[in-house]
Amino acid sequence: MSKKLAIEITNLTKSYEDVKAVRGIDLKINKGEFYGLLGPNGAGKSTTINSITSLVKPSKGSIKIFDQDIEKNFRFARSKIGIAQQEVSQDWFFPMEKLLYFQAGFYGVKKTKAKDRIDYILNKLGLDEHKNKKMRELSGGMKRRLQIAKALVHDPEIIILDEPTAGVDVELRHDLWVYLQELHKDGKTILLTTHYIDEAELLCERVGIIDNGKLIVEDSVNNLKKLVNKSSIVIHLKDDITSINFLNDFNHHISEKKVYVQTESPNLDLPKIILKFSEASVNIEDVHIPQTSLEDVFLDLTGRKIND
Ligand code: ADP
C-alpha cells in the first residue's frame, strides 16, 4: 500500500519579473514525515513553502494537501496547515497572548478551546511569563517563538517552519529542536527550511537539497552522505616524514606531518594500517576518520558551500 501523502507539489514554478525563484519543483512529503529543505540563501526555499500556504501565487504547477488541491479547497488546506514564516508580522500594538487569540479566531477555534490551547503552547515554548508583552518588548528569540506559537494555535496536522532557528541563540535552538521532535513523535508532518546543516542532519528523516530554484537531490541523510566518496583516514605523525614506502598497498599522500589514506572502508583498513606503522616503528600522534556531512554533499553537487 502506498503511504499517504500530506503534501504533493508538482512542477512548482515561480518567477518574479526577471527572477526565476523556483524552476519546476516536484516534492512529495508523507504523512507524519519530518522533511527538511536545505539550501543556501536565495535558493527558493521560502517561495516553495509560501506557495503551499497560498502566501505566494505560483506561476505554474499544482499543490495538493492530503490529496486535495489547495486552490480548489483553500479552506481545507488552511485548516490542515500551520506556518511559521520567517518575517515577523508587524502587530506592534497587542500583547502576545492577544495575538494568539486573534490567530485562534482566524482559524475558527472556539474561545474555550482556544484558552487551553494557548496556555499549553505558551508553556511549551517557554513564553508564558512574557504573554503580556507587546512585540516591541520581545527579544529576537521570543519573536521567533511567537511565530511558531501562532502556527500551532489550531493544532494543525502539517507544520511548516521557515528557518525556525535562524538568529536564535544556542540554548533556544536546542529547546526548539526538542519540541519539534516531540511534535514529530505525536505524528505531525513537519516541513522546515534551513541553511543550517546540523539542523537538517539532526532532525529530518529526509532532506531535499535545493539550489537555484531546483531540487537537486533528496533522500535520507545517510543515503545522501553515501553520494560523496570521501571515505578516508587521516594519520597525524609525531615526526616530519616525507615518504612511507610500507604503505604502498594503500592510495595515500603525505602533507605536513599528516598521512591521508583513501579507502572505501576506513573502519576495516584502519587496524591493518596501524599495524604497518607499528612494524615500521613510525610514531603516530593521532588518527581520525573524517565524517561526511551534508555540506560535503552540497559541495560535491554544486562546487560551492551552502553558507558561502
Ligand atoms: P530562500 O528562502 O531559499 O532564501 P527565496 O525563496 O526567499 O529563497 O528567494 C528565491 C529568489 O527569489 C531570490 O533570488 C529572491 O531574491 C527572489 N525573491 C523572493 N521573493 C521575492 C519577491 N517578493 N520579489 C522579487 N524577488 C523575490
pLDDT given for residue 231 in this prediction: 64
Minimum CA distance residue for ligand 1 atom 21: 16
* Identity of the amino acid at 134: K
Q: Is the CB of 45 under 6 A from ligand 1?
A: yes
Q: Which of 16, 87, 193, 195 to mutate to test the pocket of ligand 1 (most atoms within 8 A of CB)?
A: 16
pLDDT given for residue 271 in this prediction: 93
Q: Is the CB of 266 under 6 A from ligand 1?
A: no
- State in Å: Cα 190 to ligand 1 middle: 22
pLDDT given for residue 89 in this prediction: 66
Extract the C-alpha cell encoding 203.
Answer: 532532525
pLDDT given for residue 230 in this prediction: 67
Tens-digit pLDDT profile for residues 72-84: 999 999 999 999 9
3-state secondary structure 216-280: EEEEEHHHHHHCCCCCEEEEEECCCCCCCHHHCCCEEEEECCEEEEECCCHHHHHHHHHHHHHHC
* Identity of the amino acid at 238: K
pLDDT given for residue 139 in this prediction: 85
- Residues contacting residue 265 through CB under 8 Å, at least 6 positions apart: 231
pLDDT given for residue 256 in this prediction: 86
Q: Within 13 Å and on the Cβ side, how many CA atoms surround 257?
A: 10
Listed as ranges, residues in the chain with pLDDT below 50 are 1
pLDDT given for residue 2 in this prediction: 55
**97 close to 132: Cβ distance less than 8 angstroms:** yes
Q: Is the CB of 46 under 6 A from ligand 1?
A: yes
Q: Is the CB of 41 under 6 A from ligand 1?
A: yes
